Amino acid sequence: MFTITVGLIGESSMKTGTLASREIAIGRDPANDLVLDNGSVSRTHCRLVAIEGATIVLDEGSKNGTWLNGRPVAHPCVLKFEDELVIGPYVLRVQSLVGRGLSTAPQELGVRPYPGPTPESGEARENTVVSRGLSTLEERRQALRWLMLEQGPNPRFDEVLRAALKDSDLEVRMTAVLATARLRARDVLPALQSSDLPTLLQEVDEPRERRFLEALWQGVIRYLQERRHPGDSVPGRDPLKPLWKLLAGELEVSDPASMLLYSLTTALSMGKMPRQLPPGVVQQEGRFYLERSGLPLRWIAPVEHLLGANPVRRVTSPGFFVAQIPVDRRLAKWVGNPQPTRVELDHEQVWLGSFKEAERLCEELSKIENAHIRLPSADEWEMAARGTDGRRYPWGNLPQEDWEECASPWGVEYLVGDVPEWTLEHETGAQLLRGGVEARTWVRHPVYEGEEEFAAALRPVIPGV
């Protein structure tokens, strides 16, 4: 629950109201939870996201910026009691916070200091991948990574860390271990030492990785006990070198071990929605679809992604749409005889075909939808599966029981399972299979001569404009 006081800068008149929600959007668009009707305020300017024990403020790429206590909100920041937010000509003070939030609908908050024209709404409600569509589990992971952007220990964060060290999810616990080290939260050391993390690590099948994760836990304990400093040199090969580099602020992502630490300590980047939709793509209630068939799409924003494993590459997405689920047999049949009504898709009835059949299906669907629809490149597929934090699997980095039901950070579903998917290297013409039984997001399987008739799934993409 947020109790917010709002007024114009330089004026004593203030208005106070309460919003009961886990997250609120602030901007001049009437669809926002808190409407600030002024031309210098962006349509959706910023968001407040409540987590256990803290609240995060996120700027949504606003034109004039969001200011927290006189400083620009360049990354997700923790909002403290009586902090001052400046949004355009408005000053906001959050007077009371309940980190868990409530499930009730937002209440009306009359905060418009003066009447003005209602702006036209041109943006979707769902305009970040960070604060929309994430599962409760993903929210817990991301909240810890947002906290790591703060400097030094804070008693308010200690309770969050202690709770996370008891979490049932292994990745939440490992993130909490690293957050405790990054924040130098020495008061959390007893909880860290008494954690039953080694028992939970038995979920990790790979012995080498299990040993590495346990060594990270022990290394953080030594660091907080001041028995080991990031600058200390040790004889021979040090398996915890990525940890010491991380704590010294010098982590270089160059191999799977450093990539794992990067992913466990880096919050997902925010992406802006497309300013213009390509032909054939429509937007309905904040979501994207192919206009005639109704195939649901997800937007991969033009932000930097980490691709590969050894070596790791930094690649910026050009901005594109990708099918949320693979093409199913119903859609493939519809393409052969298009009907006015949209297709009711069933992800369990996945279409399988050869590479040439997949290309032909893209061509036929392009004509029906009047759109540029094609096979994804291997990099595009990996961006859709991996998100911006370089995670190993679409759902995260470590074992998870319900992995089959988990979407990628961009909301792309069913990337891993029994069926691989076709991709194409457009520059070389090489055919590559991605996904299927291989859950790691960076693995690519070349298709060799004589294997062209192999049957795989199709997840088409539509380039942005």
Give the CATH number of the domain where residue 287 resides.
3.90.1580.10
Supply the range of the domain harboring residue 330. 281-463
Q: Is residue 193 part of a domain?
A: yes
**Rounded Cα–Cα distance for residues 463 and 190 (Å):** 52
Q: Is residue 395 part of a domain?
A: yes
Q: How many domains does the chain have?
A: 3
pLDDT per position as a tens digit, 322-340: 999 999 999 999 999 888 8
In this prediction, residue 105 carries a pLDDT of 30
Give Cα separations from 278 to 174, 299, 433 (angstroms).
Answer: 41, 12, 27
In this prediction, residue 258 carries a pLDDT of 93
Say if residue 249 is in the same domain as residue 333: no
Q: Is residue 312 part of a domain?
A: yes
Q: Is residue 431 part of a domain?
A: yes
pLDDT per position as a tens digit, 227-282: 878 777 666 778 899 999 999 999 999 888 999 999 999 988 877 888 899 999 99
Say if residue 313 is in the same domain as residue 423: yes
In this prediction, residue 17 carries a pLDDT of 62
Q: Is residue 407 part of a domain?
A: yes
Domain boundary at 241, 265, 289, which? 265
- Work out the pLDDT band at 2, boundaries 50, 70, 90: low
**Rounded Cα–Cα distance for residues 186 and 188 (Å):** 5
Q: How many CB atoms lie within 10 A of CB 229?
A: 11
| Residue-by-residue DSSP string for 293-337 | T--EEEEE-S-EEEEESSSEEEEE---EEEESS--BHHHHHHHHS
In this prediction, residue 109 carries a pLDDT of 32
Say if residue 197 is in the same domain as residue 339: no
Q: Is residue 78 part of a domain?
A: yes
In this prediction, what percent of the chain has a pLDDT beyond 90? 45
Least confident interval from 30-39, 273-282, 364-373, 432-441: 432-441
Is it the case that residue 189 has pLDDT exceeding 80? yes
- Work out the pLDDT band at 449, boundaries 50, 70, 90: confident
In this prediction, residue 222 carries a pLDDT of 94
Say if residue 429 is in the same domain as residue 287: yes
Say if residue 261 is in the same domain as residue 305: no
pTM of the predicted structure, to 2 decimals: 0.75
Per-residue H/E/C for 52-111? CCEEEEEECCCCCCEEECCEECCCCEEECCCCEEEECCEEEEEEEECCCCCCCCCCCCCC
Give Cα separations from 83 to 17, 80, 101, 309, 416 (angstroms).
Answer: 16, 6, 19, 41, 44
Type of residue at 137? L
Give the CATH number of the domain where residue 56 resides.
2.60.200.20
**How high is the mean pLDDT of the chain?**
82
pLDDT per position as a tens digit, 56-88: 888 888 888 999 888 888 777 777 766 788 998
Is it the case that residue 396 has pLDDT exceeding 70? yes
